[in-house]
Structure 1
């Protein structure tokens, strides 16, 4: 499972979807506590919520990947229809501002010429879902299912309903902080700043949970 997620789901997507899943579950458990739902109802609802959100996320991931490749095909078709000088100018317009800080002007020009050459040799085709995108969508579904574990374990193990709900919410909050910590490390933050970012992610998550509850979500 870990290799599947690493291979087919980008780290930024993994962190973002885990955080969204935790926020959704925390919103659900807090609302369920206010409504005095039973532990069995909360477990069923939390798992259903996580799986439903996973299906939605997976589908959106696949569609976004498909549309991105469709956009690339559109650019390739545009380059193929232009003369070399105009095609190079089009590529400069689209990419110079993105890579000016990491790729030298000379290297960018070589890349643009290579892109034009490859585009003219490539046969046009209609993009469709790839195996990697399907696996990525399934990986996101698995992520959301895993996110439900901190929410449901206390509700299954502990006999005291109130204590179980409090432990469930505490585990969800702690997991949010951990995700923020590792997300900050992946982004390049080090030392105390990782803790600051983790605290910020936790606070932001709580704010979003509050907004969701106030808006009736």
Structure 2
């Protein structure tokens, strides 16, 4: 097989192994966040607004709210990503520069999540230390990459798009009571779908997670109604 063919297969394998920009948990949680934001904001606007243009007010108020929160959430995603990456880089640099192997292993152990500490022994951490020590160079500081920006954009779009099933009925249905019922049914259906996907991904039981997320939506809707929404 030619070198060009080998390189092509290598790139294909790398592409297949590449993780998505946002994993299932990120996508589901951001979608639910947008749904809850829009749901609560629609209830708040309904409680304080009247008039023939109530539907338009509710739609554009909810959209504006989610635009703002989507932007804030996207920026915080970048901040969190950069902070996490910086923490990992600092650990790697500390281990690489540490001349005392035992001290380097202790640094690695201190960085382990508490639940993993009993599962990883010092011999395994020593192998990691040796590999880090053998790395020729490490970047001096953490930085964002293209996929981070795509992830932030994805979060922004998920939060904003989730506005529409909650607020769109008020724009297309003249009767506000009917629009409210349609809005809440669509919201609960989307919450069930989000919970189903999350349960399937985590192994917690797709149907159970879908129903749990729906119950959460019902409780939140009841709270909104009780508060005048």
**Is TM > 0.5 for Structure 1 vs Structure 2?**
yes
Matches within 5 A, 1:12-27: 12-27=25-40
Contact 1:29–1:169 under 8 Å retained in 2: no
Shift of 1:51: 1.1
**SS class of match (1:7):** coil
Relative to structure 1, is the Cα distance of residues 15 and 96 closer, same or farther in structure 2, using a 3 angstrom cutoff? closer
Relative to structure 1, is the Cα distance of residues 209 and 64 closer, same or farther in structure 2, using a 3 angstrom cutoff? farther
| Cα RMSD (Å) | 2.9
Contact 2:74–2:153 under 8 Å retained in 1: yes
Contact 2:109–2:117 under 8 Å retained in 1: no
Shift of 1:207: 4.0
2:214 to 177, 202, 205: 202
Contact 1:55–1:141 under 8 Å retained in 2: yes
Contact 1:30–1:169 under 8 Å retained in 2: no
Relative to structure 1, is the Cα distance of residues 16 and 65 closer, same or farther in structure 2, using a 3 angstrom cutoff? same
1:32-84 alpha-carbon deviations (Å, 9 max, x no partner): 33334400101111111121111011001000000011111221232233113
1:76 aligns with 2:88: no
Moved more, 55-64 or 88-97: 88-97
Gaps of 5+ in 1: 1-5
Shift of 1:124: 4.2
Structure 2 residue aligned with 1:3:
none
Residue correspondences, number = 207
1:45 to 35, 39, 61: 61
Relative to structure 1, is the Cα distance of residues 62 and 70 closer, same or farther in structure 2, using a 3 angstrom cutoff? same
Moved more, 39-48 or 167-176: 167-176
1:125-178 alpha-carbon deviations (Å, 9 max, x no partner): 122222111111111111112101212332232222221122112211221122
Structure 1 residue aligned with 2:73:
57
Structure with bigger gyration radius? 2
TM-score for both structures, normalised by structure 2: 0.77
Shift of 1:187: 0.6
Q: Distance in 1 between matches of 2:189 and 2:209?
A: 14
**SS class of match (2:20):** helix
1:110 to 116, 127, 133: 127
